Amino acid sequence: MLDDSLARKAQKHLYKAAREVKFDKDILKILEKPMRILEVSIPIKMDSGKIKVFKGFRCQYNDAKGPTKGGVRYHPNVSEDEVVALAAWMSWKCALLDLPYGGAKGGIICDPTKLSQSELERLTRRYTTEIMPILGPHIDIPAPDVYTTSKTMAWIMDTFSMFKGYTEPSIVTGKPEILGGSKGRKEATGRGIAIITREYFKARKKSLKGAKIAVQGFGNVGGHAALFLSQLGAKIVAASDASGCLVNPDGLDIPGLLDCVEKHACVVKYPGKQIEGKELLYQDVDVLIPAALEDQVHQKNAGDIKAKLVVEGANGPVTPEGDEILEKKGITVIPDILANAGGVVVSHLEWVQAISGLYWEEDQVNAELERKMVKAFKHVWENAQQRKVSLRCSAYVVAIERIAEVYKYRGIFP
């Protein structure tokens, strides 16, 4: 593993938490390695009639607490290293939220913007077929991630069902509602970020009303987080995506911007003042929400961050070196495994609904999401106060102690 690899960075947080609680060294030996990695070759016929072979992965990091759960990413930067790091984070996230899941992640190295819908469908169906030996509603359950959608999940579900000979809605989450997708799933990660930010302000006895927020990555996660936070009275003063960055010191019109992104797939088509995309990170705001990709706040730029609070909407947007600099500057970071856990909480509810065949109303889903997120925040907050550690270290401690307890009862086979 390379020193600057994402998996290595993911491990650094684990080791820090393990040192804090003098964690059982034998259990640490298990947690520092992925349980299973599958690399697959995916040949598909392109629209031109030519064959192209793509590379894909599925990593199941740890399944001590239950079947593994995690998204599938289509992106040119997908690698074994990235998939392993993301699968590790999913393991800690599921344990922190006390879900009966382990963590997984998958991906295909491709540029989905250059593929037609029919090529994407063939790619998804062949990828599903290749990873089929390690898939199952009680083995490993995929979900959407960057550049995969509910439509992708429908193709995975259909391919799996065709091989089994019966319809199996519990094989994926994040699917369309008509196929058994949960109400509230699409908004869940953003809603969870708003809940956690609200709880943090409450714990600090501060008001969110008028708080200035910058959101990097106005996609599913960032867009919904902005919407729910603006409904709580916060002012979203900057929002960026791959196309650029929009700013308004009086607060952007978030419903209007969401409509614009829905129509044009970019924020810069919305009228208003624009700045360079990368400038978003350095805005003088109360809260910065990096909700695009990993490694955005690092050794070289963490010193320039002016926000008082960073809420990790994406997975791994702050590197361990960036984290240390922010901590020294007195900037609090709410870690990804807590902040963006709303998606997997509602994915779990979707899985429960599909298995039971009984579907919930949206207010029931949202109430359960609220309950789980508030409980996890309280646990992490109180543990951090008690141990005098960062919220990230506290969250990791809660998660890995829970997994260690599972091993205490299950033992190591054989």
The minimum distance between CB 40 and ligand NAD, in angstroms, equals 21
Edge-first strand order for the sheet with 309-311 is: 273-275, 244-247, 235-241, 212-216, 287-290, 309-311, 332-334
* 312 near ligand NAD, judged by CB under 6 A: no
264/329 with CB nearer ligand NAD? 264
Type and span of the H or E element at 311: strand 309-311
- The first and second tokens of residue 351, run together, are 């899985």
* Max CA distance (Å), the chain: 64
Provide the 3-class DSSP secondary structure of residue 19: helix
Burial of 414 (0-12, 13-18, 19+ CB in 10 A): exposed
Residues labelled catalytic: 105
Exactly one of 340, 353, 366, 390 binds ligand NAD (CB under 6 A); that residue is: 340
Residue 367 to residues 254, 334, 345, 364: CA-CA distances in angstroms? 24, 22, 12, 5
The single residue among 56, 67, 103, 219 that binds ligand NAD, judged by CB under 6 A, is 219
Residue 178 and residue 126: Cα distance in Å, rounded? Answer: 24
Residues linked to residue 68 through DSSP beta bridges, in sequence order: 102, 140
Exposure string of 21-43, with b = 16+ CB inside 10 Å and e = fewer, is bebbeebbeebeebbeebebebe
| 145 near ligand NAD, rule: CB under 6 A | yes
- Kindly indicate which of the ranges 15-23, 290-298, 302-310, 322-330 contains the residues binding ligand NAD, using the contact rule CB under 6 A: 290-298
State how far Cα 231 lies from the chain centre: 22
Residue 168 or 241 with smaller CB distance to ligand NAD? 241
Candidate ranges 11-19, 24-32, 248-256, 289-297; the one touching ligand NAD (CB under 6 A): 289-297
Task: Report the alpha-carbon distance of residue 232 to residue 369 in Å, rounded.
Answer: 17
Nearest residue to 213 via CA among 234, 185, 241, 190: 234
Taking residues 151 to 190 in sequence order and writing x for each that binds ligand NAD by CB under 6 A, - otherwise, the string is --------------------------------------x-
Interface region with ligand NAD, contact rule CB under 6 A, candidates 22-30, 95-103, 285-293, 395-403: 285-293
Please choose, out of 13-21, 96-104, 312-320, 389-397, the segment that lies near ligand NAD by the rule CB under 6 A: 312-320
236 binds ligand NAD (CB under 6 A): no
Question: Closest approach of Cβ 172 to ligand NAD, in Å?
Answer: 13
366 forms part of the interface with ligand NAD (CB under 6 A): no
130 versus 350: smaller Cβ distance to ligand NAD: 350
Nearer to ligand NAD, 24 or 80 (CB): 80
Q: Which stretch in 25-33, 118-126, 199-207, 212-220 sits in contact with ligand NAD by CB under 6 A?
A: 212-220
> Does 150 participate in binding ligand NAD (rule CB under 6 A)?
no
Which regions of 17-63 does DSSP assign to beta strands (E)? 36-45, 51-62
Interaction between residue 322 and ligand NAD (CB under 6 A): no
Residues at the interface with ligand NAD (CB under 6 A): 145-147, 189, 216-222, 240-242, 277, 291-293, 313-315, 340, 343
